Amino acid sequence: TEYKAKKKKNKAPKMKRGASQEGDGEKVGLETEGGDAKKMKPETATFPPTFSVSEIKNKQRRHLMFMKFKQERRKQKMQLRKKRQKEREALGDKAPPKEVPKTIENQRVYDETTVDPEDEEVAFDEGTDEFSAYFQGLTNPKVLITTSDRPRGKTVKFCEQLATVIPNAHVYYRRGLALKRIIPQCISRNFTYLMVVNEDRHVPNGLVLCHLPDGPTAHFKVSSVRLRKEIKRRGKDPTEHYPEVILNNFTTRLGHTIGRLFAALFPQDPQFVGRQVATFHNQRDFIFFRFHRYIFKNEKKVGIQELGPRFTLKLRSLQKGTFDSKFGEYEWVLKVSLSNLTF
């Protein structure tokens, strides 16, 4: 009997379901069967993990929180910018120079093939190359535009719109003829260029540009083709005025050749009344083409209006002479890394 009595006294008190918590988490009060409150050891407060917007499952709520986060970050940037501007105004001439933002272009390794356009050797090469007759004003550009066999709707429209951009350009259907048979016919009819637009899955994906009669021939990959109807806020259709031509960043020896290849497509005497500009912008070895019309808003401000089409070119090869897939001599070929290929 004494053993049973001791066992009942040493028995641990049970916690009721309605146990009440007192304080701010440091002390917890528990009711026992006998009604006596027993103080427990203080427990450390557990906080939720770091908050992330991506953890919100509700799409609308997640989007709302993300927009608030962007607004706060933009507000902080504006405040920091205003603070720096006030500091620069206060320092005046003693203010430190502005930091130049890091971009892919200004962080690139210097290309050793970059040439000076005023170099005597470069000037001599340009005076004796295949385009010298055009730049001396002895020939006028005349372009024949054709496609691969059985072209589809987008490729045909793309060629038709190219013909409105390039003056004195004519579109002819291929009719299954080989390029080796087309080139002599073009030369006999005084064409200075042969442009072939290839397609894959009904979308233009390649461009062969052959300068006549002596070459060279360039093969480009075409991507990001957008016709006029696909461009938002585009202007009216281009007029028949000769456009101005802008060539950006064709600074290397190869770039000089490609730049002159594009320049010889257009007449040398642009008609400024039309206010039309064709731009070939080379950046990271991609050539972006845009066609704009500029509008004078007042004496100081000028606006531009895109007319289309727009596309991007990537040079694959440059071949001496006219097109010859078997025995042609290549000046430059794009090297493809095996690590980028997928099998």
- Measured in degrees and rounded to the nearest 5, phi and psi for residue 41 equal -70, 145
Q: Give the best-scoring range by mean pLDDT among 34-38, 118-122, 133-137.
A: 133-137
CATH assignment of 120-336, among 3.40.47.10, 3.40.50.970, 2.40.50.100, 3.40.50.10480: 3.40.50.10480
The candidate with the shortest Cα–Cα distance to 146, out of 180, 164, 173, 175, is 173
Determine the pLDDT at residue 43: 55
- Highest mean predicted confidence (pLDDT) among 1-10, 106-115, 299-308: 299-308
Please give the pLDDT value at position 27.
44
Quick one: pLDDT at residue 70?
92
> In which band, very low, low, confident or very high, does the pLDDT at 47 lie, cut at 50, 70 and 90?
very low
Structure confidence at residue 140 as a pLDDT band (50, 70, 90): very high
> Do the beta carbons of residue 95 and residue 88 sit within 8 Å?
yes
Domain boundaries, the chain: 59-93, 120-336
Mean confidence (pLDDT) of the chain? 84
Which band of pLDDT confidence, cut at 50, 70 and 90, is reported for residue 3?
low
Q: Which residue has the higher pLDDT, 124 or 339?
A: 124
> pLDDT: is 53 or 143 the higher one?
143
Length of the chain, in residues: 343
Q: Give Cβ neighbours of residue 34 (< 8 Å, ≥ 6 apart).
A: 13
Confidence of residue 97 (pLDDT cuts 50, 70, 90): confident
The pTM for the full model equals 0.72
The continuous run of DSSP H or E covering 296 comes out as strand 286-296
Helices 253-263/120-128 angle, 10° precision: 40
Sign of CA dihedral 221, 227, 231, 233: positive
